[in-house]
Chain A
Amino acid sequence: MSRDSIAANIAEWTETNAQHTDANAQRAWDHEGILWGVFAIPEEQVGALPDVNGLDVVELGCGTAYFGSWLARRGARVTGVDPTPAQLATARRMMQQSGLEFPLVEAPGESVPLPDASFDLAVSEYGASLWADPRKWVPEAARLLRPGGRLVFLTNSTLVYLCAPTDVDSMVGEELLRDQFGMYRIQWEGALGIEYHLAHGDWIALMRENGFEIEALHELRPHETAVDPNYYDYVTVDWAKKWPAEEIWVARKT
């Protein structure tokens, strides 16, 4: 089932890279701090990540690898994994320009050609966390991590999934537009890509089945001075100040 979503998501992200992420790669790579999500919430305010200095880190669904670059600048040994060649080409250009180089692997989060127990931290920032089949990528993350290693991933909240109009260009509202029971995989109208959204109970069950202990669910709230997102404009800042639009899960491999 996930083979078709991998191909669909490569098509989606090849297009998005041409429209947005390639042109924005420089700005994202140049940023000094670690930011979370469409409201750019600083990691210092969230506290989702451990001290990454000296850690072996794999980023699952790295895109143009700006998030990995922020971790590499803090002393992490990062490997970026992504299935979309166009985004990896952008990432390589940024590496040449910045001089900050780390390995990139062309692969989907569902099937990563890297050895077992070779990382201390697996991260995914709107990467595999939203675009890969969780029943495949969560076991891959567990396999790649050493005992005691951490999995930290950002994705949309369940509330966003429930309240998002079917049309990909419309804003999240306040009405529940679809059932929670049965939620897993969705292709929005007008979108090339296929997303995966799990209810909180299902995330917990899946991580527990794969040997993770749940450490935190950070339901993100934008800062008072935050403004509406400009490209990923599925939600307004006013909505996101009342309900979490994005969430970060933190789990530890036992």
Chain B
Amino acid sequence: MSSADERVAANVAQWTLTNAEYTDAQAERVWRKDAITWSVFGIPDEWLGDVNGLDVVELGCGTAFFAARLARRGARPVGVDPTPAQLETARRMMREIGPEFPLVEAPAERVPLPDNSFDLAVSAYGASLWADPAEWLAEAARLLRPGGRLLFLTTSALAHLCTPEGDEVPITNSLVRPQFAPWETRWEGYQGVEYHLSHGDWIRVLRENGFVVDGLHELQAGPDAKSHEYYFVIPVEWARRWPGEDLWEVHLG
């Protein structure tokens, strides 16, 4: 095991690399899109509801394209991310494309923002995969107002069980790793630290932090979806048969 600071540092290093390799070059394309979609298969949102006038925090915003789309619908977002390189890309996109909104450099485990200051927290492959759930869910609960909602997207519990070691290998049709295992996951040839929970563990840690579970949306790739050019681990054929991604919808009770 490792210290919390070391895990955050490993993910900052990973996302600095990924930003140089992919997300910086893709930022303009994704910032120019308006449609709110989830998933590497671009599934149109049907869960967020009307965000107009809401105070929104995005935990692990990366280049902040998701928050930008919420801002265009009248939300007041704040993007939080620990990786300076991604926030730099986000700032460039704000100047070149807009809109502008606050960005905070911090890991989701320790967010320097006040209690009870948001109506909605979102995380799309952000804190949801790269931060320690025992800590970031406590932070999300602290940041939200009573009744505030949290929606987060991450790799499905099933996809994780079917993903072999090695960062060039796609998912299999077999259970290749046990479910009864630590949340913290590291991959060969990859610096980042991920957190993979079973559904039962997600429900338990959500409840421990005061959240009521409204939905677990196990996402299915649509008929016109294509395999992602960069996030290729789960091909579209697999994601039509089994959920590659889980979208949790909860609110603060």
State the A residues within 8 Å of B (CB).
158-159, 162-163, 174-176, 179-181, 199-201, 204-205, 208, 213-219, 221, 241-244, 247
List chain B residues, Cβ under 8 A from A208.
214-215
Instruction: Give the one of A200, A216, A243 with max B CB within 10 A.
Output: A200
Q: Which of A174, A201, A218 contacts B216 (CB 8 A)?
A: A201
List chain B residues, Cβ under 8 A from A204.
213, 215-216
List chain B residues, Cβ under 8 A from A241.
178, 180
Give the CA-CA distance A163 to B215 in the complex, in Å: 25
- A201-B218, A205-B215, A214-B203 known; A219-B179 Cβ under 8 A: yes
Judge if B158 is at the interface, Cβ distance under 8 Å.
Answer: yes
Q: What are 9 A-B contacts with C-beta separation under 8 Å?
A: A158-B158, A159-B179, A162-B158, A175-B173, A175-B175, A179-B242, A199-B243, A219-B198, A219-B200
| Closest Cβ–Cβ distance, residue A85 to chain B (whole Å) | 36
Interface residues of B in 189-242 (CB under 8 A from A): 198-200, 203-204, 207, 212-218, 220, 240-242
- A175-B173, A176-B173 known; A214-B200 Cβ under 8 A: no
- A159-B175, A204-B216, A216-B200 known; A181-B162 Cβ under 8 A: no
Pair B180/A214 contact, Cβ less than 8 Å = no
Pair A216/B175 contact, Cβ less than 8 Å = no
Judge if B161 is at the interface, Cβ distance under 8 Å.
Answer: yes
Judge if B26 is at the interface, Cβ distance under 8 Å.
Answer: no
Tell me if A's interface is mostly helix, strand, loop or mixed: mixed
Instruction: Give the one of B175, B178, B204, B243 with max A CB within 10 A.
Output: B175
- A214-B203, A216-B200, A221-B180 known; A176-B162 Cβ under 8 A: yes
Count chain B residues whose beta carbon lies closer than 8 angstroms to a beta carbon of A: 29
Q: Which of A175, A199, A201 contacts B215 (CB 8 A)?
A: A201
Q: Please, which residue of chain A has its CB at the minimum distance from the CB of B216?
A: A201
- A214-B203, A216-B203 known; A243-B180 Cβ under 8 A: yes
List chain B residues, Cβ under 8 A from A215.
207
Pair A200/B180 contact, Cβ less than 8 Å = no
Pair B218/A199 contact, Cβ less than 8 Å = yes
List chain A residues, Cβ under 8 A from B178.
241-243
Judge if B174 is at the interface, Cβ distance under 8 Å.
Answer: yes
- A175-B173, A179-B242, A200-B216 known; A244-B204 Cβ under 8 A: no
User: Can you list the 3 inter-chain pairs with the closest CB atoms, starting with the nearest?
Assistant: A242-B178, A217-B200, A201-B216
Q: Which of B180, B207, B213, B215 contacts A242 (CB 8 A)?
A: B180
List chain A residues, Cβ under 8 A from B198.
219, 244
- A174-B175, A219-B179 known; A214-B218 Cβ under 8 A: no
Instruction: Give the one of A201, A242, A243 with max B CB within 10 A.
Output: A201
Q: Which of A175, A180, A201, A216 contacts B207 (CB 8 A)?
A: A216
| Closest Cβ–Cβ distance, residue A198 to chain B (whole Å) | 11
Q: Please, which residue of chain A has its CB at the minimum distance from the CB of B206?
A: A214
Give the CA-CA distance A37 to B187 in the complex, in Å: 35
Give the CA-CA distance A179 to B178 in the complex, in Å: 20
List chain A residues, Cβ under 8 A from B212.
213-214
Give the CA-CA distance A201 to B158 in the complex, in Å: 12
List chain B residues, Cβ under 8 A from A205.
215
Give the CA-CA distance A158 to B193 in the complex, in Å: 27
Given contacts A201-B218, A219-B198, A219-B199, list 18 more A-B pairs with CB under 8 A: A158-B158, A159-B175, A174-B176, A179-B241, A181-B240, A181-B243, A199-B243, A204-B215, A214-B212, A215-B207, A216-B207, A241-B178, A242-B179, A243-B180, A244-B179, A244-B180, A244-B198, A244-B200
Q: Please, which residue of chain B has its CB at the minimum distance from the CB of A207?
A: B213
Give the CA-CA distance A221 to B178 in the complex, in Å: 11
